[in-house]
Structure 1
Amino acid sequence: MISKIISTSTATPEYRYNSGEIIEHIKKWVKNQPESYQKKVVKIFEGAQIDQKYSILPIEKIFSPMTFEEKNNHYINAVIDLGAKVLDDALKKADLEAKDIDYIITTSCTGYMIPSFDAYLINGFNFKQDIQRLPVTEMGCAGGAAGLIYADHFLKAYPYKNVAVISVEIPSITFQYNDFSIDNVVGSAVFADGAACAILGPTTKFAPEIIDTQMHHFSNTTDILGFNLTNSGFKVVLSEKVPDKIIEYFENTMVPFLARNNLAIKDVNNLIFHPGGKRITLMIQDFMNEFGKELTESKEIMRLYGNMSSATVLFILDRFLNKNIRPDDYGLILGFGPGFAAQSLLLRWH
């Protein structure tokens, strides 16, 4: 049997707010700022093209002062709860039990805990005691794609084993109440909470196989994307250079990646791209228009959920696993994250 992506699952926390509700709270937050600044902030939220977002806390709590300790305690409780939900669902879809999993990979960059949340899942699900663990904590939005790459590497060495990749992100608690910088505004306009899981292993079912993977590091770009750790929690860093770096990747790195598999962009029908934000999505779509390709699912996930960091690409992948894909169709997973780095996976359905 060939190792494939057997199942996926997604989950969101209990609180859901539409863009209008969020903007009303933003207006209250900036009411004592200069009028020109208030208009700019509202314009950023209106232009994000996100209809709704989910959060682990009521919106009144999000837009209030919280200590780092308080935020992080909320994070710990939420990642364990949401991680358990998506893992349980994905196992059921794959017709597997926890004892069947040999390797657990978890990705999360929006809080801090030792031990990482995989340890709690291992106890809660009674995994076997010799299970291998890999918590991925500093790869940001690229974490979900990177987790799949690490799973693929493991399965190439141990083709009859099973892997669970679990991504849980709680960006809502990274909002800085006393920080009126544009980075903080853009981060709160774009990011949202969510969780997803993928199970990989040997199967005869029709599913995507990972054909090839690639990690690409952009030299001297550590300052363009990430978090700074402050006394009030994680402070987002978002440089205007990010979109240009992404387009640079498409032109100089993705094309050769496909070429080494005797493919071109025109041959790939299923694009599973992390959308990032409006500007990034538009730039990628402009590039793809030349080849008649659409980022339909990426745009839709962004519109309905926002940017859930490492979990986002798994949300998009879940959509494709529930579509009628033609046999031998190719797919391309792409995620970007701090470093600055890009993670790519080539899939083939069969």
Structure 2
Amino acid sequence: MHTAALVSLATSVPPHTFLQKDVLAAAWDVFGSRFPDFERFASIFTNTGIVKRHGVKPFEWYLEPRGWPERTAAFLEGAEALFVEVAGKALANAGLAATDIDTVVTVCSTGIATPSLDARVARRIGFRSDVARVPVFGLGCAGGASGLSIASRLAQARPGSNVLLVAVELCSLALRHDELTKANIVAVSLFGDGAAAVILRAGDGGATRIEQCGEHLWPDTTDVMGWSVDPQGFGVILRRTIPEFVAQNLKPALLQILGRMQLSLDDIDQFICHPGGAKVIQALETTLKLDQGTLEHERQVIADYGNMSSPTVLFILERARARGLPPRSLLTALGPGFTASCVSLRHAA
């Protein structure tokens, strides 16, 4: 059976850049006088490893409380613009026109759009009227890996067809002034906006191929990560210490996933991991028995962009490809569910 190959990969971020030191200063102004524990949590901002991030709105926009209508308007405007930009880059990199795309997989968990984003931008991009659309919601940070898995299977099912995956997230719009919780402060310290696009095709070769895919869902973990919903919008749920969960639970899950692929950890030449933050990166290196500093692309991406949820791991893949991939890589991401999603990549130099 033909396996799907990466034809092109592109990334984009919105125009507004926020330095972490400025975000911390603004957080003191917004939360400092109302949240007695804020001083204790303020160190989170310096421990994330983040230097700067990007947002779809100017910095000042986030300093005022916002409700559902304003957040949704900002989401539609910003997500559509990023979708068009990053898809255009991926098409240009592949030497394709929008009319060459047969299937579009759209991954997004940070806003609600019905009709979905792909339909909203179809005319601007130039998709055919018979393009197949697959919008995917709710995968959170695992969406980059799971979306790549979904897109690769769709490409494999129709050899020769072009499948476009777009992962776009506007995490900054979930900033809440009214939630005086550690989870909200962590979200403010960590998340940024961004998008990534991948074009896949099966049946005609390609240097980097999707070898196999797998997932692991831990039972009774729906409270680990996700959204709550109220009249103001989404509110972040982070009920457990994610780094500790990763350190204790990820390796056994990966061993099960790799076992189903008839692989072992020793078969993996490089790990490409979604970085939840600096402590998660450390936990990944520890549990996978990697030398400290091995996940350098992960640290660079988190420093430059923060945690963008689903696109983040594809930003890291972009850097890894530019540096040169080894024969086999394992792309991994963790997200709501609580879920681990993995994609093994085979690369021919």
Residue 114 (structure 2) pairs with residue 119 (structure 1): no
SS of alignment partner, residue 289 of structure 1: coil
Equivalent residues, number: 347
1:109-137 CA deviation, whole Å, 9 max, x = no partner? 11111111010232212211211111111
Q: How far apart in 2 are the matches of 1:189 and 1:110? A: 17
Aligned-residue offset at 1:61 = 1.3
Contact 1:56–1:170 (8 Å) recurs in 2: yes
Alignment match, 1:33: 34
Equivalent in the alignment of 1:82: 82
Note the 1:259-274 alignment, pairs <5 A: 259-274=259-274
1:92 equivalent in structure 2: 92
Partner of 1:258: 258
Change (3 A) 1:248 1:161: farther
Q: In the TM superposition, what whole-angstrom CA distance separates every residue of 1:208-261 from its partner, at most 9, and x where no partner exists?
A: 111110021111111211001111110000122533443344322212333444
Which secondary structure state, in structure 1, belongs to the residue aligned with residue 215 of structure 2? Answer: strand
Task: Give the distance between the partners of 1:241 and 1:165, measured in 2 at CA.
Answer: 31
Task: Kindly state the Cα deviation for residue 60 of structure 1 after the two structures are TM-superposed.
Answer: 1.9
1:1-350, aligned counterparts within 5 Å?
3-33=4-34, 37-202=37-202, 207-289=207-289, 294-326=294-326, 329-350=327-348
Offset at 1:83? 0.5
Q: Distance in 2 between matches of 1:307 and 1:189?
A: 10
Match of 1:301, SS? helix
Take 2:249 and 2:331, find their aligned partners in 1: how far apart are those partners?
Answer: 14
**1:268-288 per-position Cα deviation (integer Å, ceiling 9, x unaligned):** 222211011222211111123
Distance in 1 between residues matched to 2:94 and 2:135, nearest whole Å: 22
Report the residue type matching 1:53 in the other structure: R
CA distance in 2, matches of 1:290, 1:56: 36
Cα 1:293–1:212 change in 2 (3 A) is farther
Please tell me the residue identity of whatever aligns with 1:30. F
Return the offset for 1:303.
1.1
Assess if the C-alpha contact under 8 Å between 1:266 and 1:291 holds in 2. no
Q: Determine helix, strand or coil for the equivalent of 2:66.
A: coil
- In 2, the alpha carbon distance for the partners of 1:103 and 1:271 equals 28
Per-residue CA distance 1:324-349 (angstroms, 9 max, x = gap):
234xx101111111111111100100
- Cα distance, 1:73 vs structure 2: 0.4
CA distance in 1, matches of 2:85, 2:249: 35
State the distance in 2 between where 1:88 and 1:178 align.
38
| Aligned-residue offset at 1:200 | 0.6
Residue 329 of structure 2: SS of its match in structure 1?
Answer: strand
> Which shifted more, 308-317 or 38-47?
38-47
Judge conservation of contact 1:222–1:339 (CA < 8 Å) in 2: yes
CA contact (8 A) 1:207 1:321 kept: no
Shift of 1:147: 1.0
Shift of 1:24: 1.2
Contact residue 156 and residue 201 of structure 2 kept, 8 A: no
How does the TM-score come out when normalised to structure 2? 0.94
Cα distance change on mapping 1:60 and 1:293 into 2, 3 Å: closer
Q: Tell me how far 1:204 sits from its aligned partner.
A: 5.5
Secondary structure at the residue paired with 1:177? coil
Distance across 2 between alignment mates of 1:20 and 1:245: 29
